[in-house]
Amino acid sequence: MKVKLQDGTEKHYRTVWMKESNVYMIDQRLLPHRFRILRCKTHLDTVEAIKNMAIRGAGAIGAAAGYAMCQAALEARDISNGQSRITESRDWFGHIIIAEKTIKKARPTAQNLFYAVDRVYKAMCGDQDLKRITEQAVKEAEAIADEDAASCKRIGELGNDLIRDGMRILTHCNAGWLAFVDYGSALSPIYAAKEAGKNVFVYADETRPRLQGANLTAWELLNEGIEHRVIPDNVAGALMKQGKIDMVIVGSDRIAANGDVANKIGTYTKAVLAKENSIPFYVAAPTSTIDPACKSGDLIPIEERNEDEVRWIAGVTKSGRRMEVRVTPEGSHALNIAFDVTPAELVAGIITETGIYKAEDIIHALE
Ligand code: MRU
């Protein structure tokens, strides 16, 4: 999507891309206060960026992981030429195998990461020529990134049909273009509705502890000129009861075969509240988020992150200086579960690029 730069110009950016052996990404840890591009020179740099959430969001993580596999293939070429900067493995194939495992360990919940790594790995198999293997890897990783952007655009077109003029929509976390390669999932129908001339108003849950709603969704909505309010995570119930929310759209990190949906912690609470107040609760996700091997939501691996993400909060001072402050007593420990699972029966529909499905029928989206 377009980003307004400090010099007043506008430029189209994807969240992540690859040039030669480098992976570039918008550093999402610094938004909304600073727009910076991070360069990852090796597959391990890219893995670190996924882990520390310089890049985050299912589709963006997936594309970055695909590119990390290409970096591993390029590094393997150096190993086979005897010019290795990598010491982990003595042979090029061993290097790729270790890299594949390392990339898969970066974050456990987003299915798109495993989808991308498996696809690039498969594209590399069945050939012994390292030059060709590397070319195949790059071709596949670029295809994954392009498909992610195209799927999200289509999700916007299909989801737009669900949005009526004047609707007030609640979203949780950030499932906008920053969470994908472009366009986004939950925010894509909102962008399409705006483009179609509809008035839409968005309530963006701030989304503790990492504040993806306050930092990223608000930044996107502001850039796109969409009227919105950031709300503390515990406000939505009151607004629903007062009749101020017409619809909920959230993203997903992994969808089980039975239609249970993993998404950012706090999503389940909103789904229960939506049901209680008869408000449609939609999930938007590309089919690359569906895990057909995972029978139900109970089996989705849920990431637990460092407790300091809850204990400390980052922002800027009035003079614009970035600062981190602790919000808990020093001796208190915290629990930082990053995702929860919303059962299929609470979901009004799942918007994918192949159509809008009842959650329990989601497996048909892959046909
Ligand atoms: O921890 P994150 O920021 O990588 O979590 C992902 C999310 O932003 C949300 O869960 C999102 O709604 C789904 S990913 C498009």
Q: Summarize pLDDT for 268-299 with one digit per residue, the tens.
A: 999 999 999 999 999 999 999 999 999 999 99
198 and 243 assigned to the same domain: yes
Whether omega for the bond prior to residue 32 falls within 30 degrees of 0, making it cis, is: yes
189 and 327 assigned to the same domain: yes
Pick from 156, 134, 354, 341: nearest CA to 255: 341
147 and 166 assigned to the same domain: no
Q: What is the pLDDT of residue 84?
A: 55
Domain end marker among 121, 151, 181: 151
Count CA within 13 A, CB hemisphere, residue 158.
Answer: 22
Q: Whose CA is nearest to atom 6 of ligand 1?
A: 57
Cα(22) to centroid(ligand 1), Å: 24
178 and 82 assigned to the same domain: no
Cα(208) to centroid(ligand 1), Å: 12
330 and 219 assigned to the same domain: yes
Residue 45 burial (10 A CB sphere; 0-12, 13-18, 19+): middle
What residues are paired with 351 via a beta bridge? Answer: 284, 356
144 and 188 assigned to the same domain: no
138 and 228 assigned to the same domain: no
Q: What is the mean pLDDT of the chain?
A: 96
Domain end marker among 151, 186, 208: 151
Between CA 336 and CA 96 the distance in angstroms is: 32
Q: Is residue 28 part of a domain?
A: yes
Q: Whose CA is nearest to atom 10 of ligand 1?
A: 264
CA dihedral 248, 358, 107, 307 (to 10 degrees): 40
Q: Is the CB of 263 under 6 A from ligand 1?
A: yes
What pTM does this model have?
Answer: 0.96
Q: Is the CB of 252 under 6 A from ligand 1?
A: yes
Q: Is residue 243 part of a domain?
A: yes
Q: Is the pLDDT of residue 197 over 80?
A: yes
- Residue 107 structural domain: 2-151
- Res. 71 pLDDT band, cuts 50 70 90: very high
Q: Is the CB of 212 under 6 A from ligand 1?
A: yes
72 and 214 assigned to the same domain: no
Residue 269 burial (10 A CB sphere; 0-12, 13-18, 19+): middle
Q: What is the CATH number of the domain that holds 175?
A: 3.40.50.10470
Q: Whose CA is nearest to atom 9 of ligand 1?
A: 264
Condensed to tens digits (0 to 9), the pLDDT of residues 293-326 reads 999 999 999 999 999 999 999 999 999 999 999 9
73 and 170 assigned to the same domain: no
Q: Is the pLDDT of residue 87 over 60?
A: no
120 and 206 assigned to the same domain: no
Q: What is the CATH number of the domain that holds 19?
A: 1.20.120.420
The pair of three-digit structure tokens given for residue 266, joined into one six-digit string? 């706090």
Q: Is residue 230 part of a domain?
A: yes
What mean pLDDT do residues 206-229 have?
98
Q: Is the CB of 221 under 6 A from ligand 1?
A: no
State the catalytic residues: 253
Helices 43-51 and 58-80, axial angle in degrees (round to 10): 160
Pick from 26, 239, 47, 62: nearest CA to 145: 62
Q: Is residue 84 part of a domain?
A: yes
Cα(216) to centroid(ligand 1), Å: 11
Mutate to test the pocket of ligand 1, among 169, 202, 212 (most ligand atoms within 8 A of CB): 212
Return the ligand 1 atom nearest residue 212 CA: 3
Q: Is residue 329 part of a domain?
A: yes
Domain end marker among 87, 121, 151: 151
Q: What is the pLDDT of residue 190?
A: 98
175 and 146 assigned to the same domain: no
Q: Is residue 157 part of a domain?
A: no
Q: Is the pLDDT of residue 226 over 90?
A: yes
Between CA 73 and CA 152 the distance in angstroms is: 28
Between CA 174 and CA 188 the distance in angstroms is: 11
Distance set, CA 197 to CA 46, 86, 171, 246 (Å): 39, 53, 20, 18
The number of distinct structural domains making up the chain is: 2
Report the share of the chain in percent with pLDDT over 90: 91
85 and 175 assigned to the same domain: no
Cα(263) to centroid(ligand 1), Å: 6
The three-state DSSP-derived secondary structure of the chain is: CEEECCCCCEEECCCEEEECCEEEEECCCCCCCCCCEEEECCHHHHHHHHHCCCCCCHHHHHHHHHHHHHHHHHHHHHHHCCCCCCCCCCCHHHHHHHHHHHHHCCCCCCHHHHHHHHHHHHHHCCCCCHHHHHHHHHHHHHHHHHHHHHHHHHHHHHHHCCCCCCEEEEECCCCCHHHCCCCCCCCHHHHHHHHCCCCEEEEEECCCCCCHHHHHHHHHHHHCCCEEEEECCCCHHHHHHCCCCCEEEECCCEEECCCCEEEECCHHHHHHHHHHCCCCEEEECCHHHEECCCCCHHHCCCCECCCHHHHEEEEECCCCCEEEEECCCCCCCCCCECEEEECHHHCCEEEECCEEECHHHHHHHHC
